[in-house]
């Protein structure tokens, strides 16, 4: 489908599933090269990361484990500017190599909060891997170690990303189209 309707918004196909899988394979190869044999813990930020994390985890060759935290900063198509941690860590991270997995990094607020939380856990290292990255929206003060695909600062959904809880199930990435009212302005 080249165009889809989700709730009150129309989206057009932006990045095909094959390109997404190629980006994930590249990230997996980078992580394997850098952390092979170091027993990394992948820490996925829910909800959107579940598809990316599952596909990446299947491609990783080094022995590892995975866990998830749930944090939220979006309402509709806009970031609220506030991050709420909903579900915390249960694992002992002392001397573990941690790879934070994000479906998308835009402002970076979610990762900033998570990094602050991890500072007290005496990790061996912390790396960040994001499938999608919006450099023009980024306000963070951290580096991203693995970026799948850089995208413009537009609202996207599919491949785990949603609009008010809907649209995560599409395998391609879609970008919101401009409404006729917006084009007149």
Three-state DSSP state, 41: strand
Q: Is 148 left (phi over 0), alpha (psi -120 to 50) or beta?
A: alpha
Residues forming the active site: 106
Q: Is 179 left (phi over 0), alpha (psi -120 to 50) or beta?
A: beta
DSSP secondary structure string for all residues of 97-160: EEEEEEEEESS-HHHHHHHHHHGGG--SEEEEEEEEE-TTT---SS--SEEEEE--SS-EEBTT
């Amino acid at each position: 489908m080249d165009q889809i309707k989700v709730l009150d918004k129309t989206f057009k196909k932006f990045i095909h599933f094959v390109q997404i899988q190629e980006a994930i394979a590249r990230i997996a190869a980078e992580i394997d090269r850098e952390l092979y044999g170091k027993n990394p813990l992948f820490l996925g930020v829910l909800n959107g990361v579940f598809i990316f994390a599952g596909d990446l985890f299947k491609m990783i060759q080094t022995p590892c484990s995975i866990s998830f935290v749930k944090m939220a900063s979006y309402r509709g198509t806009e970031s609220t500017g506030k991050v709420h941690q909903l579900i915390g860590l249960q694992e002992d991270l002392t001397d573990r190599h941690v790879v934070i997995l994000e479906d998308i990094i835009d402002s970076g607020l979610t990762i900033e909060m998570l990094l602050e939380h991890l500072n007290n856990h005496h990790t061996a290292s912390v790396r960040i891997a994001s499938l999608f990255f919006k450099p023009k929206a980024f306000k963070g003060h951290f580096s991203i170690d693995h970026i799948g695909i850089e995208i413009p600062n537009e609202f996207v959904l599919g491949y785990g990303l949603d609009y008010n809880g809907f649209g995560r199930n599409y395998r391609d990435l879609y970008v919101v189209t401009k409404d006729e009212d917006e084009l007149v302005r």
